[in-house]
Chain A
């Protein structure tokens, strides 16, 4: 067998680099999960997950690209390999079958893949019609029950009242009254009503609460065609009157 050329060595080296990146990002996720208390914010978790999945994608792309090379490579120890001290690593390298744990991962991944594939073939719906109907039937009742357990009119929930309102930490300096017909509330209600009237007045054209659709500026010929002009060109025109370059 011929020895490896430069490109092939580079490909091997690249896969090593990418795997290192992957392990790094995985281990940083694990440490952040282990050490930070409370748990890291969902946004940071999500960004870490994105990084990991990007790493996975690059690794898998690389492996696919170099499939032929990696499939034909055979590892064997050279005469100067320190097999006495580095025995376990040698054994790992010379294995012809995969590690049992890895076999498990593979089979699990394959079944999930097949499942999702068959699902997308059917129509990609997670919930069947029946399940959906059931959910719709269940949700309003449940939501209503949950809502009834709260006293919406007052400043305190029923739960808080039962536990004694003195103990509630409101963070407010002024005294909150427990009665529904307190002045502040009336004021608030008045304001609400005024708001609604105002919105209706404007909504004379349509029927929506947020009736800003009525004033959709369609008077100008809305020729929605062609590519969007780069922001820079628009800004340049607005600052100096320089007409955008014809593309």
Chain B
């Protein structure tokens, strides 16, 4: 599957207004979304043969080169995404309380995996569902002004994810929370989100947290409180030029519609580089 994307940075003061505008444009209420995202990095397993590449004396057979590529190439960062709720964050005394049922109403029906955790407000790491999201580095070459990349997603077992990921050769790097709203416009998924970081003092940084801190203690990655607007179209068959072109046309259409509000642009390719070096 391929993914076509456009991005824009939304300053804090514009966020509320843009949310309203998007709600009007898409004729839907924003779907609130909270996700834990764990970043894993592929590591080279000890014992893998590391033959020198580019030795000119003995010309390497095509097969050997391909084998090398398979073994040593294709080291990628990958993300494990798990949906969470506001309720999953530790209660922080009086500040929340009744406010908790409001997100509840908006979240209901979005999140199949989390239904059981409605009853108890604490976070259960063992029943946290996960999804593996692989994203390739965006395609090089600027045929069109959108970011296009190969993507794949897969469901993962619930609960502790470190063990299976390690077995597949991935090491845990870091984690963060993405908070935002989703809008759907025809085939475009619009995600207005920001990155929240865990308070630094809590827990071991080498494994994902088993408990979530109070939501109030989460700090935005960008201190100015800006959001990221992402417009995405997923294309099943990335090899089909026709559908790819149609999809980018749709994105350009959205860009035109939002021109007076935000400037949707192609992202810098290297900033989305998922290759592990």
Binding site for B on A (CB under 8 A): 199, 201-202, 204-205, 210, 212-217, 219-241, 244
Contact = CB atoms under 8 A, between A and B. Distances in A.
A232 B265 CA distance: 11
Contact of B272 (A215, A220, A235): A235
A239 B223 contact: no
7 tightest A-B CB contacts, nearest first = A241-B174, A229-B222, A232-B271, A241-B39, A235-B271, A231-B9, A228-B226
B39 A235 contact: no
Given A232-B267, A239-B272, A205 B23 contact: no
B7 interface: yes
A171 to B, nearest CB: 21
B30 interface: yes
A217 B227 CA distance: 12
Given A236-B271, A239-B77, A214 B223 contact: no
10 contacts: A202-B29, A210-B20, A219-B215, A221-B216, A224-B13, A227-B224, A229-B221, A231-B228, A236-B271, A240-B273
Nearest to A230: B9
B29 A212 contact: yes
A223 B223 CA distance: 6
Contacts of A229: 9, 221-224, 226
B154 to A, nearest CB: 18
Interface residues on B, range: 35 or more
A225 B174 CA distance: 26
User: By DSSP majority rule, is chain A's interface helix, strand, loop, or mixed?
Assistant: loop
Contacts, number: 119
Nearest to A236: B271
Interface in B263-277: 267-268, 271-274
Nearest to A233: B271
A240 B215 CA distance: 23
Contacts of B95: 219
Interface string B25-44: 00001101000010101000
Interface string B67-88: 0000000000101000000000
Contacts of A231: 7-9, 228, 267-268, 271
A229 B219 CA distance: 14
A210 B24 CA distance: 9
Nearest to B7: A231
B9 A220 contact: no
Contacts of B11: 228
Interface string B140-163: 000000000000000000000000
Nearest to A205: B102
Interface in B183-237: 195-196, 215-216, 218-226, 228
Contacts of A226: 223-224
